[in-house]
Amino acid sequence: MTSHPPSLPCADGQHTVVYTFVCDFRSDCSDKSDEDFCHFLPCNPNVNFECRNRQCVKKLAKCNGAKDCFDGSDEDQCRDAFFGIRHVPWPVVVKLEGPASVRLVPINSNYSTNQPLDCPPAHFQCPGSGYCLPVFTRCNGVYDCQGHQDEADCNRYTTCPGFYRCRASTVCLTAAEMCDGVLHCPEHDDELLCDSVCPSGCTCYGHAFFCGGPFQAGQFAELRYLHANGSGLRPADVSNNTMLVYLNLASCALRELSHLSLPNLHILHLGENHLTEVSDEHLFHLPNLRHLSLAGNPLTSIFRKQRVAPVLSSLLHSLDLSRVTIPVFHMTALRPFPNIEVLNLSDCEVDTMSTDRFETPTSLHVLDVRGCPLTFFPRDLLQGLGQLREVMADTYKLCCPVTLPTGFNLADCRAPSDEVSSCDNLLRSHVYRVFLALFAILALLGNLTAFVARVFLSRVRNGFDVFTITLCSSDFLMGVYLAIIGVADRHYMGSYLWNDVSWRRSAACKVAGFLCMTSNEVSALVVCLITLDRLLVLRFPFSRVRFSKKSGALASGTAWVVGVVLALIPLLPPSAHWGFYSLTGICMPLPITRKEFPGHQYSFSLLVVFNFVLFMLIAVGQLLIYQSVQKNSVKHAGVTNQSSKDQRQARRLITIAMSDFLCWFPVGLLGILSSAGQPISGEVNVAMAIFVLPLNSALNPFLYTVNRLLEKRQMKKKKRLMEQLEDQMKQRATVTCHNHVNT
């Protein structure tokens, strides 16, 4: 509820008029839009006189010296003097006691025209005469002074401090002249609302009521505005309030809508009720309806009967269907409203929109489909809307130039851009395309080479070797995932807009997402196992508690099973409705955005919480391994060849583990920040998916190989030094022996 009287906007969009003054036979809008639509009851010619403004006054009011018609048409061709005091001897005070009823009160019989009269308060003297007239006769449009001085200089008569200024007039009244039963103001507003009563439970501003409970609305025939949200009122309760211009019956538990007959109704709010059907028959007797809100109703049928001729609903220009579940919306439902300008379908869960070019309302200016997936829509959905000025949506596809009318300003199409895809391509940027191809090649070739070298060119001796082979295999899957995305991007290049849904819902996209998730989780689990294996070897070098070849294979198999199951859960029937791998063009939703999506909690739990726990374990293990390496390096002389090898493997593992940790840590951190409500840029989401996540899979085999090459180079160098040292020692021994023989 507002602290000010509600107002009706004028058609010019610049001014407003309080509802009490709407349809009151007087135009307050400069364009007369507050009166030109009004329907009034016809005048009874036997009893009433009909004014030019369609107002009804009693026949006796014709030429009675008072303007009973607000436009003064009842006094046309009548005497121009109101009081008829021109031949009354003065000095006197003129007292108005009713229409055409004047009482004269003498002041001073010795009055001289050369001296001013001592007029009573709220009176003024006619210049050059001995008449004291009431102040409300000053600039009232009627010549009351003999010299017409009471209507002179009215353009300067703009303020009257301490008095009531009549509406749209320069007439001023005292408080005693308000609600005294005599019409002083030209538009009679001094007698307006004098006997008005505000019902219990309501707050009233003239003919505008804000009510929180039921009341006898039929007793207030002049009611113009009724805001009865949650009051429990029914349409039948206001059937006699034909002067209503605004009616709000939202949240009134309405289950059916009776046929309303309110010829002046402009705005009707029926939101948040239990209406299941609204047909055009319900609107048959609402010829002036401009705005209709049905938001939040469980509608199953909208304007189904189509019986009403379009002209009867041609004034409706705003329709609010927000929060009404409409999976499929046919534009032909708007057939009864050919002049509709604003259509609100926000949060309607519209998945499909269809149209008939010959039935589409071409006058549409604003379309709001925010909160709707809008998966399917025809290519020409908006092209026939030549007057479209603004579009609001959650899908970037509706704002592609090819879908919009010719000449539409793209800046007025408000939809979040897709971070990955564009109207033409799956990958919107050449930078994304280049790096994706680079990482795909590195992951495929690097891990394949490492796998072949480990399986066919080396002998698998222990659990560590098994874990390394498993890591290569899981990282290889990431390369396959990247290759699938790259091939799809190439295949749909130039026409991705119309293939977006088919691609995201395809088996190839689901397989790609499944491989990506499997690769991520298996890699994390295997790195954790490798860390545990090296920790056991270095912390307990003489213990037999370590991974053998057989136990390593069993642990690796378990990691594969866990990874596959975790990646498979979104595809199982109980969670298939998520469409988990079909949410984005890259087939992998990351929980680093504040926007909720189906399966968001699962994605967050797995990719943030679960992986965070794994990498915390890895970090602790790496710290312990580092301490062991530092401790054992002090005792280098006593270390066996196997122990030295174990230390080299530990150093190598630290590099791999740290690369994995640095790739996953930003994902976890951003996921936590987004869940806490911190805004994360869409570009960051893309960076995580294309630049960060695949990085470790692409670099792991090379990091491992480079480390091994450096170690081999160092060992060869060390071997040469040892050989040189042995040669020197042999030479020294030979010389020493020769000298000893000679002596």
Coil, helix or strand at residue 367: strand
- Distance CA(636)–CA(66), nearest Å, equals 120
CA 27 to chain centre: 38
Residue 79 pLDDT:
54
Which two tokens mark 288? 């002036």
CA 375 to chain centre: 18
- Distance CA(296)–CA(190), nearest Å, equals 43
**Strands (DSSP E) found in 235-299:** 246-248, 267-269, 277-278, 291-293
Which two tokens mark 219? 């007793």
Of the listed ranges 19-23, 305-309, 494-498, 722-726, the one predicted with least confidence: 305-309
- Distance CA(665)–CA(618), nearest Å, equals 12
Which helix H or strand E contains 354, and what residues bound it?
strand 352-354
To the nearest 10°, the Cα dihedral for 634, 638, 643, 649?
30
User: Which residue is it, tokens 């039929």?
Assistant: 218
For the segment 686-705, the average pLDDT, to the nearest whole number, is 76
Count of other CB atoms within 10 angstroms of residue 243: 24
pLDDT by residue (tens digit) across 365-404?
Answer: 999 999 998 888 888 888 888 899 999 998 888 999 888 9
Q: pTM (2 decimals)?
A: 0.72
DSSP state of 536: H
Which two tokens mark 559? 């990691």
- Distance CA(340)–CA(263), nearest Å, equals 19
Where b means 16+ CB within 10 Å and e means fewer, 37-59 reads bbebeeeeeeeebbbebbbbbee
Where b means 16+ CB within 10 Å and e means fewer, 6-17 reads bbbebeeeebeb
pLDDT by residue (tens digit) across 222-239?
Answer: 899 999 999 999 999 998
Please report which confidence band the pLDDT of residue 122 belongs to, taking 50, 70 and 90 as the band edges.
confident
Of the listed ranges 246-260, 273-287, 476-490, the one predicted with least confidence: 273-287
Residue 94 pLDDT:
80
Torsion sign, CA atoms 647, 652, 653, 654: positive
Domains of the chain: 84-192 (no CATH), 430-699 (1.20.1070.10)
Q: Residue 585 contacts by C-beta under 8 Å, 6 or more apart in sequence?
A: 418, 420, 421, 426, 427, 496, 500, 503, 504
Residue 637 pLDDT:
45
pLDDT by residue (tens digit) across 92-113?
Answer: 888 766 655 677 788 765 666 6
Q: Residue 575 contacts by C-beta under 8 Å, 6 or more apart in sequence?
A: 569, 599, 602
**Closest alpha carbon to 467 in 517, 531, 520:** 531
Longest dimension (CA), the chain: 172
**Closest alpha carbon to 689 in 500, 513, 537, 529:** 513
Residue 636 pLDDT:
47
pLDDT by residue (tens digit) across 478-531?
Answer: 999 999 999 999 999 988 988 998 999 999 999 999 999 999 899 889 888 888
